[in-house]
Amino acid sequence: MTLTLAQVFEKAGTSDIGYVFDAPFHYIVLTRADNTLDMDHIEQYLAVLDQIEATTGPGVLVTIGTGKRHFSTGFDLPYWLADY
């Protein structure tokens, strides 16, 4: 079965990082407005990668950002600077 992009977004839900598997396609959907990276976001992403790694057979990984203007703005600087 091949999902449309709208179906992938629907199945991904509203969490910060959604995962949809439509063999052989693995979709990671980043749903934050700016998709900045903090430790929570990175850990969620790594957990999805672990799920993908546990599957068998060939596959294709597609990462999609739902932001209107950009895929990701990079690191969340206020978060990372808070440790100093």
Confirm if 22 and 10 have CB atoms less than 8 A apart: no
Which CATH number does 5-81 carry?
3.90.226.10
User: pLDDT for 37-69, tens place per residue?
Assistant: 888 888 999 999 999 999 999 999 999 888 776
**Cis bond before residue 24 (omega within 30° of 0):** yes
Report pLDDT for 73: 67
Q: Note the pLDDT of residue 21.
A: 96
Return the amino acid letter for 51.
Q
Closest alpha carbon to 15 in 36, 44, 54, 58 = 44
Give the start-to-end residue ranges of the domains of the chain.
5-81
Return the pLDDT at 66.
83
